[in-house]
Structure 1
């Protein structure tokens, strides 16, 4: 129905294992005006260490719109650009668009390298991976609707095309 390849079955799945991952992320934001629009931009860096992902990454992000003080960060899709994102409740209508880029050196990716403690399937992983991310978010009162699109470079050698995926998120304060 979706045009995807047929799954290889349960015999090819990774085994269950506990995950322990530590991550650190730091962004430096500069605020400015862009022809009547608010704008934030700046570099960021991130590091993760664990049996799910071990990587170091760096990149930059631009965020523009109205009411940027009512929200922070951009919606993220792991493992890249893990910027903390959120919004403040009870604020007036606001919106923002964003675009960002990140490069990562992936020292370990359990999903491609296979299980840590048992023999399992694996692929020839590429060590350098990059993402381009763009999207839009709308805030009103205690609600936020956000769409994020990600274009990721090939993550392993036999991969025929780079990945393209997205996320649509509706959030509210309780």
Structure 2
């Protein structure tokens, strides 16, 4: 059963937890300024925490609750309750939910693949990153940049992480 929090996240379509984190930080800044509470500026959930909230496996704590209330305009109790107008499994929302779950699973698999090879960077990892860049380039003309930006940012972050990790051969450095 989906919560109101999950339904609202799906409606705003954060393609990647980093997109949610950016909106979360913005709401934290607004709330910190309004309440004169600079501690809120240090509050931002990890990607795994966002996913746990999204799937209803973890309850947000103190400051995060205040920020979520600011973001969505609903109390934490309302956000944690089942969504009132949840679609049936075979309804139009099911495809969106499946897509979101598939995107999260693909991101986890990519992160595992990028970190799994020890020592030198392997061809599989480099190919994985090249495939992601090719996918982004292929849909760029059809999809608005704000929709693609989280994926583009994640690919760039992965490339820099590999470069900075010191596991790259000179020929691979040029490809990255």
TM-score bracket for the superposition, by shorter chain length: under 0.3
Which structure has more helix as a fraction of its residues?
A: 2
**How does the TM-score come out when normalised to structure 1?**
0.19
Which structure has more relative contact order (CA 8 Å, sep 6+)? It is 2
**How does the TM-score come out when normalised to structure 2?**
0.19
Which structure has more strand as a fraction of its residues?
A: 1
